[in-house]
Amino acid sequence: MRRRQFIETSAFGAVAATIAAATPAEAVAKSQASSTVLESALAALNAAKRLEIKGDFASLTSSYHSDAIVVEPSSLKPSIGRAAIKDTLAKKGKSQKLVYFYYRQPQVAVSGNSAFVVSNFESGYDTGDGQPVEYTGKSASVILLGAQPPLIAQEVLVPNIQAGGYGPMGRALGQTPFGIFPMRALGRDPIPVASAGGGEKDVLLGQVRKIHAAWVARDTSSLMKYSSKDGVFLMGDYSPFYVSGSADLQQHFADFYKESSVKYVRETEVNVGIWGDAAVVAFNFDLDYAINGVSRRSPGRGVYAFERVGGTWGMRYCAATHLVARAIGDPYPIPGLST
């Protein structure tokens, strides 16, 4: 049965309520359990945003796992570990102080003691001139529920290049504050990494490469084969929405292949985090593709999250972004969207 879920979230808390009409008791129980997990996971994410708003970066580190991985637009490299996350967010706070951050339309997938959370977001930053910079995007996170309180193991923010007309504070959204991930960050003649560190890390990198090979081969059935049997999420800066569910993901790629093709995807600067049966592969990529017959070389960053079931890693979400803060990126090559 279809159900409607009403979720209110903000930087100051989260409330989730589910309305289920004429569903079996088992479905109701499962829905309630999912809502409880979502509420717990959002509480962890919101607690971190509250501390970032306060500027309490020392306390903020306690919101993250000791080996957490954070990928966000203010840095060209992922922040790995509490100290690096603190330094990245504190440096960002000096020029862009977080004013608000709202998680919108979140969904959760649970695997053991881990929650995979995908969401849209709205955010606002004070740049010192009294006019907050507001922008929207998508986020994807892995939350470890076994810890008390739950800990953030990974988070990636994927901005929207087309931000909309007005932000939540009623201000007209101006030109994009983003540039594109610079080719120079990949180095001269980028070469795919040979190893992610051995063992299960290389197994996970192998899964990423199988997914990319299927993408290049236009093989949507294989894309699904390497995904979780319980569903998968896809997000990128090409759309203001994330794609939810295997059927929608297949439709997305079917539409993509009508006018587009991929020549290659090369993975560099690979970092793998494993937390029990949840894992993330974060990497830079060198992408060569064509749209409407026009070839493009497009560097960016990917974060793929996996769950391990029966000894096999299946992808839970795929996040990719070409956008970084304008100060560290190249100009965005779309007239009217960059200064």
How do residues 264-300 score in pLDDT, each as one tens digit? Answer: 999 999 999 999 999 999 999 999 999 888 998 889 9
Q: Give the per-residue pLDDT at 167.
A: 60
pLDDT digits (tens, 9 = 90+) for 122-158: 998 988 877 778 888 999 999 999 989 999 999 999 9
Checking if the pLDDT of 1 tops 50, the result is: no
Checking if the pLDDT of 2 tops 50, the result is: no
Same domain, 156 and 128: yes
3-state secondary structure of 293: coil
3-state secondary structure of 159: strand
Domain carrying residue 8: 4-175
Helix, strand, coil abundance in the chain, percent, nearest 5: 25, 45, 30
pLDDT digits (tens, 9 = 90+) for 184-237: 888 877 889 999 999 999 999 999 999 999 999 999 888 888 988 888 899 988
CATH number reported for the structural domain that contains residue 277 in this entry: 3.10.450.50
Checking if the pLDDT of 11 tops 50, the result is: no
Same domain, 157 and 215: no
Same domain, 236 and 133: no
CB 318 within 8 A of CB 302: yes
Same domain, 305 and 243: yes
Same domain, 168 and 301: no
Last residue of a domain, one of 118, 144, 175: 175
Same domain, 160 and 214: no
Same domain, 280 and 148: no
Tell me whether residue 195 is in a domain: yes
Checking if the pLDDT of 21 tops 80, the result is: no
> What are the φ/ψ torsions at residue 226 (nearest 5 degrees)?
-95, 5
Tell me whether residue 330 is in a domain: no
CA distance 195 to 187: 18
Last residue of a domain, one of 144, 175, 206: 175
Q: Give the per-residue pLDDT at 223.
A: 83
CA distance 159 to 189: 27
Q: Give the per-residue pLDDT at 170.
A: 63
Tell me whether residue 242 is in a domain: yes
Domain count, the chain: 2
Is the pTM higher than 0.75? yes
Same domain, 107 and 252: no
Query: What torsion, rounded to 10 degrees, do the Cα atoms 235, 241, 247, 252 define?
Result: -70
